[in-house]
Amino acid sequence: MSIPFFQVDAFTDKAFGGNPAAVCPLDSWLHDSQLQAIAAENNLAETAFFVPKDGEYHIRWFTPTVEVDLCGHATLASAAIVLRHLEPTRQKVVFQSQSGPLIVSRAGDRLMLDFPVRPVEAVELTPAIVAALGGKPLKAYKGVRDYVVTYANAEEIRALAPDMAKMAAIGPFAVTAPGTKADGDVDFVSRYFAPAEGIPEDPVTGSAHCSLVPYWADILGKTELRARQVSARGGELWLRLKGDRVEIEGQAVLVIQGELFL
Amino acid sequence: MQLPVYKLDAFAGAPFSGNPAAVCPLESWLPVSAMQAIAAENNLSETAFIVRRCDRDYDIRWFRPTDEVDLCGHATLASGKLVLDVLERGRCTVVFHSKSGPLIVERTGDGFALDFPMRKPRQIPITDEIVAALGAEPLELLEADRWVAVYPDAKSVRTLAPDMAAVARFPVRGIGVTAPGCGEDHDVDFVSRYFAPRVAVPEDPVTGALHCVLAPYWSARLYPRTNFTARQVSRRGGQLKVALKGDRVRLEGQAVLTMAGQFSL
């Protein structure tokens, strides 16, 4: 038996940049243990599986070790496969997931994810946080999932070498700073670390921008923002705050198309 | 530009076991930066690149996600399976020329055999530090191009939970553990596991090179035997036949094709 296999780099227009995801369209669901074994074999941060249902798709995401309830970059990657390969005449696609419906639409040569906003509140910048992250953090905030810690400039963000063991004991962190000319005049840059979830550093993190966007929209007094995640692979995002939603636009590039043999 | 890519599970009889490797057959060498980027994108322990030569042999190079390596057994077995079963179906033997010299992969009854140099180990003292790092006191500690700790039974090897940070501190590329097959592993002569956190491989699923040390050890211990069946009892698990032939070790295993595709660059 064989199933289709795609590998897509999300939030980039260049192969080998952005955040890689495996995408396996299925006719019907395989057993959970098979889905998990395939994701382990792919060994990427996430493998997305989806099955057509009533003009929409039912989507699930697996890391090499567990199923997760939401993954932005693998959803963007899945939408790229649906809208460019499987159903090239469609303008948008709805994925039904454990986290509710996720809509991805065409936006020129980009794709747009519509995600819930996750506002942040100021929290104490504790010595434990400073010790975990290093550098000279300015302020700390916390949303429903992530800590957001601010720095003075992009160079400091790039130079950070966090202590993953200390960080794992606290929680996932987005670190952020204003963008500069060197970063293509983006409004802000970020990096994202989730060692407790098995991701020391994530190359590009759509969902972290659910908290970064309301923070920067407030600071900069605008709702349309451009951002760069300055990980080694790097990624670029176009963002819009719309009430209690965040629109996240990015590019996606197909790098491998093939078949898996089970 | 399109580039074929295959993924195979080496030392495995079925998908999702053994040690996965990617293999990219090339018309001619790509720049090292391109091969490194492809290996990073594949994100498997090794990606092998092979180029067919005029004499029908192949040149081979192996890349991890971060760097090039001199020798890799499981990706060579995977490359052999790909050449002999897919690219040149029906062919029986292929020679891969590498930085570590020529490596021959030969079709056998139900799998493929690799011919590797033997690495005869010597006994070294067991220290408190090694006992603490491995979490259980071995019967013997051996040194060759890597260390091997010998335990009394397969169960001790299966249940070992080493302290990876401590294992990484020893000045050696990796530490293997081995024991006679017994209990649920009574069908094989010996079992093993291999830990190399120092080179970012906490536990390797199946390790061909480790068996170049294990073959002379078990041959001396089970004298005069020179042919063994072995199982690496990692989570994915792998099955090998091992034969000591003078100063060479013949490793035999199966390999399974799990993915065939095209890179778009």
pLDDT digits (tens, 9 = 90+) for A128-157: 999 999 999 999 999 999 999 999 999 999
Give residue A30's pLDDT.
Answer: 97
Give residue B89's pLDDT.
Answer: 94
Give residue A198's pLDDT.
Answer: 77
* Candidates A16, A38, A257; nearest CB to B41: A16
Let me know whether B40 and B140 are in one domain.
Answer: no
Is the model more confident about B110 or about A152? A152
Let me know whether B143 and B181 are in one domain.
Answer: yes
Give residue A180's pLDDT.
Answer: 84
Pairing of strands B58-63, B93-98: parallel
Q: Which token pair is B225? A: 């035997």
Let me know whether B166 and B215 are in one domain.
Answer: yes
* Candidates A20, A37, A260; nearest CB to B259: A260
Name the residue of chain A whose CA is nearest to B44's CA.
A43
Let me know whether B185 and B260 are in one domain.
Answer: no
Let me know whether B210 and B257 are in one domain.
Answer: no
| Residue A12 to chain B, least CA–CA distance (Å) | 14
| Confidence check: pLDDT of B106 > 90 | yes
Is B258 in Cβ contact with A261 (below 8 Å)? yes
* Candidates A5, A15, A20; nearest CB to B259: A5
Give residue A18's pLDDT.
Answer: 97
Let me know whether B111 and B133 are in one domain.
Answer: no
Whether A257 has its CB under 8 Å from any CB of chain B: the answer is: yes
Whether A199 has its CB under 8 Å from any CB of chain B: the answer is: no
Let me know whether B74 and B53 are in one domain.
Answer: yes
Tracing tokens 């401590």 back to the chain, one arrives at B166
pLDDT digits (tens, 9 = 90+) for A20-41: 999 999 999 999 999 999 999 9
Let me know whether B158 and B201 are in one domain.
Answer: yes
| Residue B31 to chain A, least CA–CA distance (Å) | 15
For chain A, positions 8-47, list CB contacts with chain B under 8 A. Answer: 9, 15-16, 20, 37-38, 40-41, 43-44
Whether B132 has its CB under 8 Å from any CB of chain A: the answer is: no
- In this prediction, residue A182 has a pLDDT band, given cuts at 50, 70 and 90, of confident
CB within 8 Å of A74: residues ≥ 6 apart: A10, A21, A22, A23, A45, A46, A47, A48, A61
Let me know whether B167 and B234 are in one domain.
Answer: yes
Q: What is the pTM of this model?
A: 0.90
Whether B40 has its CB under 8 Å from any CB of chain A: the answer is: yes
- In this prediction, residue A160 has a pLDDT band, given cuts at 50, 70 and 90, of very high
- In this prediction, residue B188 has a pLDDT band, given cuts at 50, 70 and 90, of very high
Let me know whether B80 and B187 are in one domain.
Answer: no
Give residue B128's pLDDT.
Answer: 97
Let me know whether B158 and B239 are in one domain.
Answer: yes
- What integer is the mean pLDDT of B92-107? 95
ipTM over 0.95: no
What is the rounded CA–CA span in Å between residue B259 and residue B47? 13
- In this prediction, residue A69 has a pLDDT band, given cuts at 50, 70 and 90, of confident
Is A258 in Cβ contact with B259 (below 8 Å)? yes
| Residue A15 to chain B, least CA–CA distance (Å) | 7
Number of domains in chain B: 2
Name the residue of chain B whose CA is nearest to A13's CA.
B265
Give residue B211's pLDDT.
Answer: 96
Give residue A135's pLDDT.
Answer: 95
Query: What does DSSP assign to residue A220?
Result: H
Tracing tokens 């980009």 back to the chain, one arrives at A110
* Candidates B37, B258, B261; nearest CB to A256: B261
Whether A256 has its CB under 8 Å from any CB of chain B: the answer is: yes
Name the residue of chain A whose CA is nearest to B257's CA.
A261
Let me know whether B10 and B43 are in one domain.
Answer: yes
Radius of gyration, alpha carbons of chain B? 18
Q: Which residue segment(s) compose the domain that B49 sits in?
A: 2-117+252-264
- Residue B143 sits in a domain of what CATH number? 3.10.310.10
CA neighbor of B171 nearest in space, from B148, B202, B195, B198: B198
CB count in 10 Å sphere of residue A262: 14
Is B40 in Cβ contact with A256 (below 8 Å)? no
pLDDT digits (tens, 9 = 90+) for B37-63: 999 999 999 999 999 999 999 999 999
Is A259 in Cβ contact with B259 (below 8 Å)? yes
Is B257 in Cβ contact with A259 (below 8 Å)? no
- In this prediction, residue A175 has a pLDDT band, given cuts at 50, 70 and 90, of very high
pLDDT digits (tens, 9 = 90+) for A183-236: 888 999 999 999 888 788 999 999 999 999 999 999 999 999 999 999 999 999
| Confidence check: pLDDT of A65 > 80 | yes
Question: What values do phi and psi take at A217, rounded to 5?
Answer: -60, -40
| Confidence check: pLDDT of B252 > 90 | yes
Is B20 in Cβ contact with A255 (below 8 Å)? no
What is the rounded CA–CA span in Å between residue B99 and residue B117? 14
Q: Report all structural domains of chain A as residue ranges with CATH numbers, in order of start.
A: 2-114+249-261 (3.10.310.10), 121-243 (3.10.310.10)
Alpha-carbon dihedral sign for residues B27, B31, B33, B34: negative
pLDDT digits (tens, 9 = 90+) for B204-241: 999 999 999 999 999 999 999 999 999 999 999 999 99
Give residue A73's pLDDT.
Answer: 95
- What integer is the mean pLDDT of B99-107? 94
Of the residues B41, B46, B143, B184, only one is catalytic, namely: B46
Name the residue of chain A whose CA is nearest to B33's CA.
A16
| Confidence check: pLDDT of B24 > 90 | yes
Is the model more confident about A71 or about A105? A105
Whether B264 has its CB under 8 Å from any CB of chain A: the answer is: yes
Q: Which of A12, A199, A256 to mutate to test the interface with B (most CBs of B within 10 A)?
A: A256
Residue A156 is among the residues annotated as catalytic for this protein: no
Greatest Cα pair distance in chain B: 56
3-state secondary structure at position A229: strand
Supply angle C-alpha B61, B62, B68, rounded to 5: 105
